[in-house]
Amino acid sequence: MVSYIIRRIFGALIVLLGVSIITFLLAYAVPADPARAIVGPHAPEYLVLQIRKQLGLDEPLPIQYIHYLGNILRGNLGTSYVLNQSVTSLIGQRIGATGLLAGLAFVFELIIGIPIGILTALRDRKLTDHVLSTGALIGISLPVFFVGLELMYWVGFRLGWLPIGGTGGILFAILPALTYAITGAAYYARLLKSSMIDVLNQDYIRTAKAKGASPLRVVMRHALRNALIPALTYAGTDVAALLGGVVVIEDIFGYSGVGQLAFQAIGNLDVPLIMGTVLFATVFVVIFNLIVDILYGIVDPRISYS
C-alpha cells in the first residue's frame, strides 16, 4: 500500500511536469504579447521593451521555462503581471472558497444522484423510472449557465432564500454548488441505475434472498456496495470536470474563487497566474484520483495494490 502510494506520487510528478510544459507552450502560442497587455495599447514601444526585459520575456522560450521550473521547485509560482501579487498568495486566499464550492457540489451530486439511481433501477421501465430518467436526461442536457440563472432568479430573487451571488460562507456556495450538481447528478443516476440492474441479477443477490433478507436489506447491503464501484470510477474523472465547471459557475455567480481567478487570468493573458491555477487544478485532480483509487480497494476487496 505504501509503495503503491509512493509510486503514484512519482507518477503524479511526471503528470505535473507534462501539464506545465503544455500550459506554458499554449500560453505563448496565443498571438498576443503579455508585455503589451500589461502596459495597454497606447503605451510607447520603449516601455513595452523595458517590461519585456524586466519579466524575462526576451529570452528564448526553453530558457524561460527552465527559469519558471526552477522557481516552482523553490516554491515560488511567480507574480501576477496584472494584480501584482504573488500567485501563491492569490490562490491561497481563494482556495478555501473554491474547496467549499467544489466539495458541496460533489456532495449534492451524490445526494441527488444515488437515490435516483437506486429508485430507477428498482422501478425499471415503470412510471417512476420514466419520470426520473427523463428528468435525468433533461439534467444532463441543460447548460450550466442556464441552470445557474434559473436558480438565481427563482431561489435567489423570487423566493429570496439564498444570496444571488457573491462570496462569503456556506450560504453563498449553495446555489453555485447546486447548479453544478443538477447537471452532474444525472450521470451518477444513470451509471448507478445500469450497474444496479446488473448487480440485482447476480447469483449472490439470489443467495441473499434465499437467506431470508428483506428487499430493503438486499438492495442496501448486498447490492448497493457492488453497484457503487463503477460510480466510484466515474467520480475520479468527475472531479476534473468539476474544476472546469467551477470556472464557469464562479464567474456566473460572481463567486471569487480560484475559478474566477483563472478566468480573469486568461482574459488578461496573465501567464504566471494561468500557470498557477492550471497547476493547482492538476494537483487537485491527481490527489483526488489517488483518493478514489484507495477507496476502490476499500470498497472492493478483490483489488490489491501489489
Partner 1 sequence: MSEVLNITSLSVEFNINGEYYHAVNDVSFHINAGETLGLVGESGCGKSVTSLALVRLLAKSAKISGKALYNGRNLLDLSLEEMHQIRGKQIGMIFQEPMTSLNPVYKIGSQISETLRLHNKISNDEAKRQSLEMLRKVGIARPEEIMEEYPHQLSGGMRQRVMIAIAMINNPQLLIADEPTTALDVTIQAQILDLMRNLSRDFKTSLLLITHDLGVVAEMCDRVAVMYAGQIVEQGLVDDIFFNTNHPYTQGLLNAIPKIDVQNKDRLQPIVGNVPSLTRMPKGCRFATRCPHAMDRCKMESPPLMEIRENHQSRCWLNDAKVV
Q: Can you tell me the distance from the alpha carbon of 142 to that of 149, in angstroms, rounded to the nearest whole number?
A: 12
Task: Name which of 125 and 158 has its Cβ closer to partner 1.
Answer: 125
Asked if 76 interacts with partner 1 (CB under 8 A), we say no
What minimum distance in Å lies between the beta carbon of 239 and partner 1? Answer: 24
What minimum distance in Å lies between the beta carbon of 235 and partner 1? Answer: 17
Asked if 203 interacts with partner 1 (CB under 8 A), we say yes
Q: Which of 261, 97, 93 is nearest to 172 (CA)?
A: 97
Asked if 8 interacts with partner 1 (CB under 8 A), we say no
Give the interface segment with partner 1, choosing from 36-44, 51-59, 78-86, 210-218 (CB under 8 A).
Answer: 210-218
Asked if 207 interacts with partner 1 (CB under 8 A), we say yes
Asked if 204 interacts with partner 1 (CB under 8 A), we say yes
Q: Which of 64, 101, 114 is nearest to 232 (CA)?
A: 114
Work out the angle at residue 14's Cα, subtended by the Cα atoms of residues 10 and 19, and round it to the nearest 5 degrees. Answer: 140
Task: Name which of 96 and 215 has its Cβ closer to partner 1.
Answer: 215
Asked if 211 interacts with partner 1 (CB under 8 A), we say yes
Count how many residues are written for the chain.
Answer: 306
What minimum distance in Å lies between the beta carbon of 214 and partner 1? Answer: 6
Asked if 283 interacts with partner 1 (CB under 8 A), we say no
Work out the angle at residue 299's Cα, subtended by the Cα atoms of residues 293 and 302, and round it to the nearest 5 degrees. Answer: 85
Query: Contacting partner 1 (CB under 8 A), which of 31, 41, 75, 212?
Result: 212
Asked if 126 interacts with partner 1 (CB under 8 A), we say no
Phi, psi of 149 (to 5 degrees): -65, -40
Task: Name which of 190 and 222 has its Cβ closer to partner 1.
Answer: 222
Quick one: DSSP state of residue 154? I
Asked if 206 interacts with partner 1 (CB under 8 A), we say yes
Asked if 200 interacts with partner 1 (CB under 8 A), we say no
Asked if 214 interacts with partner 1 (CB under 8 A), we say yes
Grid cell of 160 as nine digits: 429570496
Q: Which of 233, 124, 253, 131 is nearest to 188 (CA)?
A: 233
Asked if 164 interacts with partner 1 (CB under 8 A), we say no
Work out the angle at residue 106's Cα, subtended by the Cα atoms of residues 141 and 282, and round it to the nearest 5 degrees. Answer: 95
Q: Which of 59, 55, 68 is nearest to 21 (CA)?
A: 68
Asked if 302 interacts with partner 1 (CB under 8 A), we say yes
Query: Contacting partner 1 (CB under 8 A), which of 72, 149, 213, 266?
Result: 213
Cβ atoms within 10 A of the Cβ of 204, count? 11
What minimum distance in Å lies between the beta carbon of 121 and partner 1? Answer: 15
What minimum distance in Å lies between the beta carbon of 193 and partner 1? Answer: 18
Q: Can you tell me the distance from the alpha carbon of 96 to that of 272, in angstroms, rounded to the nearest whole number?
A: 21
Grid cell of 13 as nine digits: 510528478
Asked if 210 interacts with partner 1 (CB under 8 A), we say yes
Task: Name which of 140 and 213 has its Cβ closer to partner 1.
Answer: 213
Asked if 167 interacts with partner 1 (CB under 8 A), we say no
Q: DSSP string covering 122-135, please?
A: HTTTSHHHHHHHHH
Q: Which of 280, 267, 277, 260 is nearest to 34 (CA)?
A: 267
What residues make contact with partner 1 under the rule CB under 8 A? 202-204, 206-215, 222, 225-226, 299-302
